[in-house]
Amino acid sequence: QSALTQPRSVSGSPGQSVTISCTGTSSDVGSYNYVSWYQQHPGKAPKVMIYDVSKRPSGVPDRFSGSKSGNTASLTISGLQAEDEADYYCCSYAGIYTLEVFGGGTKLTVL
């Protein structure tokens, strides 16, 4: 069982928006603004899309945005494109003993 809970799958049509949730606890997501999101295509290494809840690394399209409310973080992808189809993982700092924890991952299907 993963420390952070994500939906196993989400889907959307090209051009639509989708939101992936990441639910933790007051010991991780709820306590720190250190949530990051990673995209992983099959057979490839993960790629950071969002860090520190809502910051976007250079080169990541502004279609990708992040937010947090309480113990739940969210990744929103607007204007869905075929190449967005991938697995997405959230990750949160969880204190000096647990350090970092990942969510179980969400498979995004672009219909």
| Site residues (vs other proteins, CB under 8 A) | 2, 32-34, 36, 38, 40, 45-48, 51-52, 57, 87, 89, 91, 93, 96-105
Work out how close the CB of 100 gets to other proteins at its nearest, in angstroms, rounded to a whole number: 4
Work out how close the CB of 80 gets to other proteins at its nearest, in angstroms, rounded to a whole number: 22
Element (H, E) at 86: strand 86-93
Residue 34 or 72: which CB sits closer to other proteins?
A: 34
Phi, psi of 83 (to 5 degrees): -75, -5
Structure tokens at 49: 């899309």
In this structure, the dihedral spanned by the alpha carbons of residues 59, 12, 107 and 96, taken in order and rounded to 10 degrees, is 60
Distance of alpha carbon 59 from alpha carbon 14, whole angstroms: 21
Work out how close the CB of 49 gets to other proteins at its nearest, in angstroms, rounded to a whole number: 9
